[in-house]
Amino acid sequence: MEAVRLNKYLASCGVCSRRDADKLIEEGVVLVNGERAHAGRKVSAADTVTVRGKQVHAPREHIVLAYYKPRGVVCTERDAHAERIVTQEIGYHRRVTYAGRLDKDSEGLLLLTDDGALIDAMMRGIHGHEKEYIVKSDRKWEEAAVANMRSGVYLEELKQTTRPCMIEQIGEKTLKMTLTQGLNRQIRRMCKTQGYEIKGLKRTRVINIELGTLKPGEYRELTETERTALYQLCGLEPR
C-alpha cells in the first residue's frame, strides 16, 4: 500500500468518513505505531494504526448492501434511547454504516458499506447524485404547489433554498420526487411550505441502485455490475 493520508486510510477501513476521521484524530484517540497521530499524517502498510485501542485494517474488498429500512428504524450508531437501530436490525457479519440517512418515519432504500471513501463521495452535495422518493400527502396535490417545489422553495428553518428538482404526479395525493441534495428532512419541509403534510415517504432509488423487490427489513449485496457502476458514478475506482 502506498502512503496515504491517515483520514483517507481510516475511511478505507470503514471506520468512518474522512470528516469524522479528522475529528477522531483531533480527539487524540488515533495512534500510529503507538504514538498519537496528528492531522496530515500519512501511513503505509508498514504502520500499525489503532482507534480507541483497537487496531484497524483495510479490507481486501469492500462490501455494499442495499437495505429496505422499515419505518421506526433509526439511522444512528450512538443513540441509547433509540429502540431500533439500523446496524443492529441488519445484523451483518461485517461492520457497515449508512451512506445518507432516512428519518425514523420514512422507509425505503438505504445503502450501507464498510468503505468510508464511498460514503464520503456519495455524501458530497456538490456531486448532485440523484435520490428518488414516493411521497404521499394528506390531500390532493394542486398543480401550483407542485410547480413551486419543482423550481425550488425557501426553507426558513434551514435558511436555504432547495435546488430545482424533478417531480411527477402519479396519483391525486402521490408524487415521485427526484432530488440532487440531501437537506435535513428536506421533502417534509418542502411540502410543508406548500401547506401539505406527508403521510408516507419511501426512497426507491439512490444513484443507480433501485429498491426493487426488497421487502421491509430485507437486504442484499449489490451485484458486481451495480457495484462497479456505483463506484464509477461516484468518481472512484471499484475496490
**Using CA atoms, how far apart are residues 95 and 114, in angstroms rounded to an integer?**
6
Q: Report the run of H or E that residue 194 belongs to, with start and end.
A: none
CB 138 within 8 Å of CB 96: no
79 carries an active-site annotation: no
Q: Which of 103, 114, 115, 138 is catalytic?
A: 103
Q: Report the run of H or E that residue 98 belongs to, with start and end.
A: strand 97-98
Comparing CA positions, the residue from 183, 130, 128, 137 lying closest to residue 160 is 183
Question: Residue ranges of the alpha helices (H) in the chain?
Answer: 6-12, 18-27, 86-90, 116-123, 143-151, 186-193, 224-233
CB under 8 Å to 74, separation ≥6 — which residues?
82, 83, 84, 85, 86, 104
Catalytic residue list: 103
